Amino acid sequence: MSSRTAIPCMLIRGGTSKGAYFLASDLPSSREERDALLLSIMGSPHPDQIDGIGGGHPLRSKVAIVARSTQPGVDVDFLFAQVVVDKPLVDTSPNCGNILSGVGPFAVERGLVQARDGTTTVRVRTLNTGTVAELVVSTPGGAATYQGEARIDGVPGTSAPILVNFMDVAGSVCGVLLPTGHASDTIEGIRVTCIDNGMPVVVIPAGSVGRTGYESVAELNSDAELKARLEAVRRAAGPSMGLGDVSEAVIPKLSLIAPPKAGGSVSTRNFIPRTCHTVVLQLFESNNGCMR
């Protein structure tokens, strides 16, 4: 039997994702060694990640690497890693708001931040993009709590809320909000919007690819013709967004939009980037014209 090294790890669900959270000091400093270790820990490449702690789905194959920050006014640094399920690939180019939300309680639990009674604000710098966010964590009695009444789509039951204030998200990866310089572009014969507001995304009207946008997750994931067409759009959009060859990257992601049926201004189906997200989002427009 080969020797094994025990590495402290916390499994935390943040938003609609679940990830493995590590202190940076517990992982190899070499990126090559670190990525090989993360692939082994998560069980990639294998569709079920049967020999690791990954869940066989992009939403359950994520990693947070956290350290006390040396930047003034920032508590912790956070590196997000998307461990690809069926390929030996660890992508640290994008951010992930879901996994970011779990950094707050992790920082409290691991002693990187001293909790206050009531709520504790944790300022986090995301190393992937250089952006900073404030996380407001429930800490009654000076300890992180996970019990609460907050409810989100795609997750059963309720939990303690974590408020995430993004400080500077526009152009976080591509450098500008509209990376192509246009509000709309025609790519692969489809009129789309390429935007980077925290995450590079190609927004596609569902009707332009012959879909309603209300197909089930199972239908969309089994629709080989649609997924091939979307991937062609994604790969063509990559260079236009300044991302280069994105064939082996998880960004840009894709969002099919459709008219709302259950309130809001627009409904979305999101691909991350080749698997449909389980959550349908209804976006609402506030009085100042911003989507929320």
Mean residue pLDDT across the chain: 91
Same structural domain, 279 and 191: yes
pLDDT score of 93: 87
Length of the chain: 292
* Unique residue bearing structure tokens 């991302």: 243
Domain membership of residue 208 (yes or no) is yes
**CB-CB neighbours of 134 under 10 Å:** 15
Across 214-218, 247-251, 259-263, least confident range: 259-263
pLDDT tens per residue across span 110-158 = 999 999 999 999 999 999 988 899 999 999 999 999 999 999 888 999 9
Residue 173 lies in a domain: no
CA atoms within 13 A on the CB side of 221: 10
Asked, for residue 133, whether it belongs to a domain, the answer is yes
Question: Do 123 and 214 reside in the same domain of the chain?
Answer: no
Give, in order, the Cα–Cα distances in Å from 273 to each of 86, 239, 276: 14, 16, 8
**101 and 145 both lie in a single domain:** yes
The CATH number that applies at residue 249 is 3.10.310.10
| 17 lies in the same domain as 145 | yes
Q: Give per-residue pLDDT as tens, 11-48.
A: 999 999 999 999 999 999 999 999 999 999 999 999 99
pLDDT at residue number 3: 63
Q: Does position 280 have pLDDT exceeding 80, yes or no? A: no
Pick the last residue of a domain from 120, 137, 166. Answer: 166
Q: Do the domain assignments include residue 160?
A: yes
Domain range for 231 is 185-283
Whole-number pLDDT of residue 290: 34
CA distance 265 to 262: 9
Q: Against a cut of 0.75, is the pTM above it? A: no
Tell me the backbone φ, ψ of residue 184, rounded to 5 degrees: -150, 150
Residues 24 and 111 in one domain: yes
My answer on whether 142 and 23 are in the same domain is yes
Domain shared by 131 and 45, yes or no: yes
Degrees to nearest 5, angle at CA 234 with 231 and 239? 140
Three-state SS string over 173-196 comes to CCCCCCCCCCCCEEECCEEEEEEE
Number of structural domains (the chain) is 2
**Averaged pLDDT, 189-210:** 94
* Same domain, residue pair 17 and 148: yes
192 and 255 part of one domain: yes
